[in-house]
Amino acid sequence: MGLLTNRTRRHGSGSLAGAGRAALALGLWLTVLLAMVAGPCAAKVFLSRKEALATAFPTADQVVDRDVFLTSDQVARIEKESGAKLESELITIYEGKKQQRTLGFAFIDTHVVRTQPETFMVVLSPGGKVEAVFMCAFYEPQEYMPPDRWLAQFKGHSDPSRLRVGDAVVGITGSTLTARALTGGVRKAIAIWKVCLQRTGRAVQ
């Protein structure tokens, strides 16, 4: 798999197509950053990346971030497993560690829900179960934002096929798009773990 350690990036197959999709993902991040710069009235940022990782791994003495360029086969497997489209072949996997022992993995997902972006983090155990899901930023009207008690229902899940609104996931009245988008992001995180991390328990080349 195309793991990129210490932010050093190596292009694999399909890198030209990946560049376009990576640019889309970068554009979403820039949208969030621009909204933050606009001022406290416009910004609805709850956690910076540093704060989110500290929340995800409160006992860690190290958090390693690894950029991975997925192969076309990996993209296909992740999308099939999750039933959701990847915005980019470039993903970042955050690994929390304590005394060289893996505590878990985290994934940050940013995408547009209706017309504005949201960013959230999915935290998985070393074995691929959801430990936590929490919001980092939300720019849609606040009445559409999922409450913490709704996010808590993902904890303990490891089967993306059951994580559907109306199945294992209770919907949010009046916020169907938010619920579906966030649920799809959780499925993608689990699918990435299954495709990239399940055999080894860590992101390796």
How far is it, in rounded angstroms, from Cα 184 to Cα 163? 8
Strands 2-4 and 62-69: antiparallel
Residues 129/163, Cβ–Cβ less than 8 Å? no
* One-letter amino acid of 15: S
Indicate whether 32 pLDDT > 60.
no
pLDDT in tens, 36-93: 444 444 458 999 999 999 999 999 999 999 999 999 999 999 999 999 999 899 999 9
pLDDT band at 173 (very low <50, low <70, confident <90, very high): confident
pTM above 0.85, yes or no: no
Strands 90-98 and 2-4: unpaired
Listing from the earlier edge strand, what are the strands of the sheet with 117-124?
A: 2-4, 62-69, 90-98, 101-112, 117-124, 130-138
Q: Where are the domains of the chain?
A: 2-197
pLDDT band at 202 (very low <50, low <70, confident <90, very high): low
pLDDT in tens, 142-160: 889 999 999 999 999 999 9
